[in-house]
Structure 1
Amino acid sequence: MTARGEGEFGAVLDAQWSVGARLHGGYLLAVLGRAACESAGSGHPHVTTVSGSFVEPPEPGAADVQVRTLRVGRSVAQVSATLAQQGRPRVEALITLGSLDDAGPWWSSVEPVELPPRQECFLVPADSQGAGFPIPLMDVVEQHLHPGHLAFAFGEPARRGVVATWQRLADGTDWDPLSLLVALDPVPPASYDLGLPGWAPTIQFSAYLRRLPAPGPIRVLLRATDVGGDRMDETALVWDDKGRLVAQATQLAAVRLPA
C-alpha cells in the first residue's frame, strides 16, 4: 500500500486472495483496515470493529483507498474507508481503531468449538472438486475442516448449518487483528451444510476484534442462523491457541434457494 496524501492510498489487490473469480471479502476489509491504521497513526494501532458493505466486486489489480477521519479520541478513533476502482466505490466500511492487548476475558459465555486434532481434519485444497471452482485463497490460508462437517461433499449435507475449522496462515505468519478478518469469512460458507452449494457473496459484514491472538493456529466456528428470501445470515467465532475468543462476526450473504 502506498500513501499518496492525507487519507489517500494506492493498493494492488492480489488475485491469490480469491475464491473462484472473486476477491475474498475479509481480505478486502483487511486492505481497508490497513489504510485506516496508517491514517490514524501510532496512537490507535489496531482495528477493533469493522462494518463493511460490498457495493460491487472489485477486480485484482490497482485500486484507490480513501480514509476519512470521523473522530479521534484518547482511546478510540473512528474513520470511514472506501475502496474504489475506475472511479466507482466497490467496498465501503466504517472502522473503529484502538489498542488491543493479549489479556484474557474478565467473563465469557462461549467455549471454544471442539475439533479433532488438526492432523485428523481435512485440509481444504485450492483445486477442490466439490466446490466447482478454484479457491486460490487456500494456498495462503491452510484450513482443516472438521471431518464430521464434510457430509456435504458426498451429497449428504447434515443440514445443521455448521462448519468448524482449524486455520493457519500458510507462510507461518502469526495471526493479527487484520488477518483475523480473513479468518472470520471462512470457506466453505455454512450454506454448504444446508445443501445449498455455490457462491454465497457477502452483502454486509460486521466484525469485532477482541484481543491480540496468541501464536499458533486458530479455531473457527461458522453457523447459519436464518435463511430465506435468497439471503443467509451467518455468525463466526474465532478462538486462539490458548482457547480465548479473539474475534467474532456476523454477515448477510446472498444464496440461491431451490424452487
Structure 2
Amino acid sequence: MAAAHAGQTTQATIGDSEFDRDTAVTPREPGVYEAELSGGWTIAGAVNGGYLLALLGRALADTLPHADPFTISAHYLTASRPGPALIRTETVRTGRTLSTGQASLLQYDDEGNEVERIRVLASYGDLDGLPDDVRTAAEPPRMPPVEQCFGADDAPKGASPMGGFPIADRLMVKLDPSTLGWALGQPSGKGEMRAWFGLADGRDADPFSLLLAVDALPPTAFDLGIKGWVPTVELTVHVRCRPAPGPLRVAISTRNLAGGFLEEDAEVWDSADRLVAQSRQLARARLG
C-alpha cells in the first residue's frame, strides 16, 4: 500500500503514528487546548488545510460528548504557520445522537497579537451506531491498480508539485495517469484529480484522517492549466462511515471557475467500496 519512511520495519497503527502525534492537542483548561502545528504537513511553507481540520477535529472530539465528526465546516481566515497554536472550543448543543460545537485556532503574529486562523462549526455523533441501510447511486471511481499509478517518487526531480514538500514524505498519493497530464505540461481541461491515498507510515484511515484525505491531492486547478497553489477559503466535510482498513481512493472534480474562485467536490472510497467521506470547498485560483 504505502511507501514507508526510510528504515521503517513495522506499520504504524491508529493512535500510534506520526499523524496522531502531530494532531494531538493538550488541554489547558476547559474548552482551551494547546497544539503544535508541525512543519511536516506544509506545502511551500503553508500548513495543509486538511491537517489543520483534523487537529481542530480532535479538540472538538475531546470537548463534545460524541467522538466522531459527522459534518465539519471550516473557514480559513489567515494562513497558519508551523509552531505553537491555541484552540478554543465551545459546545453549542448536545443531544442524544448528535452534538454540535465550534472551535477557533489562533496563533500570534510577529508583534505578539492574537490572530484567528480558522473557525469551524461541527456536528459529532457515533459512526458505529449508524444503521447498515445504504441506498446510493454513487459509484467508486474507476482507477488503475495502485502499482499502475504515479506518485512524487516516480517523477523526475522538480517535475511534480507534490514532490519536494514536507507533506509529500508523509503521504502515499498515487495519481491516476489519466489525471496527470498537467504534470507533463498537458492539462486535460476537465478539472479532475483521482488518486490512491494513504499515510506513508502505513497507518489505516479513521474519521480524522479522512478530514486530511479530502484536501491532500494536487488542486484540480492544475488540470485546468492554472499554475501555483490554490488556497482554501471554506471547506465542508461529511464523514459517512468508519473506513475499512486499506488504501483509500479519492476523486476530486471542479465544474466552475469564475471570478477567480472555484469549487472542488471530493469523494473518498474505502477498500470495501463504501463512500466514507464527501466534501466541497471553495478555493481561490490565482490567475495570471
Aligned equivalents of 1:218, 1:232: Cα separation in 2: 25
The question of whether the paired residues in 2 share the 8 Å contact of 1:103 and 1:211 is answered with no
Q: Percent identity?
A: 38
TM-score, scaled to structure 1: 0.95
Query: For residue 41 of structure 2, what is the aligned residue in structure 1?
Result: 17
Query: For residue 26 of structure 2, what is the aligned residue in structure 1?
Result: 2
Query: For residue 229 of structure 1, what is the aligned residue in structure 2?
Result: 259
Partner-residue secondary structure (3-state), 2:256? strand
Report the Cα offset of residue 153 of structure 1: 1.2
The question of whether the paired residues in 1 share the 8 Å contact of 2:44 and 2:165 is answered with yes
Partner-residue secondary structure (3-state), 2:121? strand
Aligned equivalents of 1:19, 1:187: Cα separation in 2: 11
Query: For residue 111 of structure 1, what is the aligned residue in structure 2?
Result: 139
Task: Sort the Cα spacing of 1:104 and 1:198 in 2 relative to 1 into closer, same or farther, 3 A.
Answer: farther
Query: For residue 176 of structure 1, what is the aligned residue in structure 2?
Result: 206
Partner-residue secondary structure (3-state), 1:12? strand
Query: For residue 167 of structure 1, what is the aligned residue in structure 2?
Result: 197
The question of whether the paired residues in 1 share the 8 Å contact of 2:152 and 2:162 is answered with no
The question of whether the paired residues in 2 share the 8 Å contact of 1:20 and 1:134 is answered with no
The question of whether the paired residues in 2 share the 8 Å contact of 1:104 and 1:244 is answered with no
- How many pairs align? 256
Report the Cα offset of residue 209 of structure 1: 0.3
Paired letter, 1:67: T
Q: Does 1:79 align with 2:101?
A: yes
Partner-residue secondary structure (3-state), 1:179? helix
Query: For residue 46 of structure 1, what is the aligned residue in structure 2?
Result: 68
Report the Cα offset of residue 128 of structure 1: 4.8
Per-residue CA deviation, residues 62-119 of structure 1 (Å, 9 max, x unaligned), is: 1000001100111111000000001111000001110103865520111000110001
Per-residue CA deviation, residues 138-184 of structure 1 (Å, 9 max, x unaligned), is: 11110000011111111111111001000011111110111101100
Report the Cα offset of residue 131 of structure 1: 2.1
What are the equivalent positions in structure 2 for 1:105-144 lying under 5 Å apart? 105-125=133-153, 128-131=158-161, 134-144=164-174
In structure 2, which of residues 164, 179, 185 is the aligned counterpart of residue 155 of structure 1?
185
What are the equivalent positions in structure 2 for 1:59-78 lying under 5 Å apart? 59-78=81-100
Task: Sort the Cα spacing of 1:141 and 1:3 in 2 relative to 1 into closer, same or farther, 3 A.
Answer: same
Deviating more after overlay: 212-221 vs 121-130? 121-130
Report the Cα offset of residue 252 of structure 1: 0.4
Query: For residue 58 of structure 1, what is the aligned residue in structure 2?
Result: 80
Query: For residue 230 of structure 2, what is the aligned residue in structure 1?
Result: 200
Task: Sort the Cα spacing of 1:128 and 1:81 in 2 relative to 1 into closer, same or farther, 3 A.
Answer: farther
Per-residue CA deviation, residues 36-67 of structure 1 (Å, 9 max, x unaligned), is: 001114xx110111110000011101100000
Query: For residue 96 of structure 1, what is the aligned residue in structure 2?
Result: 123
Aligned equivalents of 1:209, 1:73: Cα separation in 2: 19
The question of whether the paired residues in 1 share the 8 Å contact of 2:162 and 2:218 is answered with no
- The runs of 5 or more residues in structure 1 that have no matched partner are none
Partner-residue secondary structure (3-state), 1:16? helix
Task: Sort the Cα spacing of 1:193 and 1:104 in 2 relative to 1 into closer, same or farther, 3 A.
Answer: farther
Aligned equivalents of 2:133, 2:265: Cα separation in 1: 20
Decide which structure has greater strand share. Answer: 1
Paired letter, 1:18: T
Decide which structure has greater helix share. Answer: 2
Task: Sort the Cα spacing of 1:165 and 1:38 in 2 relative to 1 into closer, same or farther, 3 A.
Answer: same
RMSD, matched Cα = 1.6
Per-residue CA deviation, residues 7-56 of structure 1 (Å, 9 max, x unaligned), is: 10000011111112100001101111000001114xx1101111100000
Task: Sort the Cα spacing of 1:193 and 1:105 in 2 relative to 1 into closer, same or farther, 3 A.
Answer: farther
